[in-house]
Each structure stands twice: as structure tokens, then as C-alpha cells.
């Protein structure tokens, strides 16, 4: 396994729409393993392939405290949504930034596992938020897109200030 580089906003590659996976092989399994290693090393709870400059419909997530519930979804699609929740989201592509985003409370997802077998996952709460967030990445959308223009501008200015401070430190 190896850690991958995480793209940071405003890198235009984050806006790339990911393509479906057609080949379920050792290369895909290696990508998934590397994505988990990268996510865990960055203290993240979810990571989309787009964020590591691989434009395939692959996402990984693990919301557990002990990192014992890894979930890899290939070619995932939400087939049912229910309810609404506001959750403070962060993103490995926006280090140190958080904002309240409204998303579905529960989602039912059809996907494939790393072997190409179809799976159905029904989740709610924070894991539902995580999956919706990562699926957005695969569609070239980022969480700040959900914010008002004013909030988005303020957050992005804060991100730029943090980067300038880090560069001079």
C-alpha cells in the first residue's frame, strides 16, 4: 500500500466527473487499499477517487472510531433518499474548513464491491452524509457548492489565509 496525494481546492481536477469502473482487477483492489491508507493517514472519514486524481467512480469511507468498518463502494448510485439533516462537513481537499450542509438523513445505495458483486447499503446519519459528500466529488461537485455565495467566499478567503500563514511558517 502507499499513500496518494490529495488534491486541494481550487485544483480544477476536483471538478472532473468520474467514469464508471468496468474492470474489477488487482489494480482496482490496490487503488482501494491505497485510498484507505491515504484517508486514514489524513484522519479522514471518506475519500473519493477524484480527490487523488483518479477519475473513476470509487469511494471509500470509515466512520468508526476504531477504523474497523471500512466501506468501499464502486459505481455507487443513491436509489432512495429520506429525511433531511444539517451536518457540519469538512473535506480533505479543504483542510481545516468546515461548514453546515443540508443533506438527506437516510440513503439507500446500490454499488459494487471490489470484486464487482452488487451490494445494497442502507445508511443514516453521519455515514449517509459522508457517502453523499463523496458521491458529489465523483460528480465534480464540492461541499462549498451548497453554501450561499457569501458563506462560500468567506470560507475560501479563510482557506487562502491559512495557506499563506502555512507558507510563511
Catalytic residue annotation: 134
- Exposed, middle or buried: residue 161 (CB in 10 Å: 0-12, 13-18, 19+)? exposed
Contact 160, 167 (CB under 8 A): no
Complete DSSP assignment for 13-36: GGGPPPBPP---SHHHHHHHHHHH
Contact 62, 37 (CB under 8 A): no
Q: For the chain, where are the E strands, in sequence order? A: 46-48, 58-61, 71-82, 85-91, 94-103, 106-112, 118-124
Q: Which residues partner with 99 through β-bridges?
A: 89
Residues 66 and 102: their CA atoms lie apart, in Å, by 27
- Residues in CB range of 26: below 8 A, 6 or more apart: none
Amino acid at each position: 500500500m502507499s499513500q496518494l496525494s490529495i488534491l486541494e481546492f481550487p485544483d480544477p481536477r476536483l471538478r472532473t466527473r468520474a467514469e464508471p469502473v468496468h474492470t474489477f482487477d488487482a489494480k482496482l483492489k490496490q487503488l482501494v487499499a491505497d485510498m484507505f491508507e491515504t484517508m486514514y493517514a489524513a484522519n479522514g472519514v471518506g475519500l473519493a477517487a477524484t480527490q487523488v486524481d483518479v477519475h473513476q467512480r470509487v469511494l471509500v469511507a470509515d466512520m468508526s472510531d476504531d477504523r474497523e468498518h471500512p466501506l468501499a463502494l464502486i459505481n455507487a448510485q443513491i436509489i432512495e433518499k429520506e429525511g433531511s439533516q444539517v451536518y457540519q462537513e469538512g473535506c480533505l481537499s479543504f483542510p481545516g474548513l468546515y461548514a453546515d450542509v443540508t443533506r438527506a438523513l437516510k440513503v439507500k445505495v446500490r454499488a459494487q464491491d471490489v470484486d464487482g458483486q452488487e451490494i445494497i447499503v442502507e445508511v443514516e446519519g453521519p455515514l449517509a452524509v459522508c457517502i453523499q459528500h463523496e458521491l458529489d466529488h465523483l460528480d465534480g461537485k464540492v461541499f462549498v457548492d451548497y453554501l450561499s455565495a457569501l458563506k462560500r467566499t468567506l470560507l475560501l478567503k479563510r482557506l487562502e489565509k491559512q495557506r499563506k500563514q502555512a507558507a510563511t511558517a
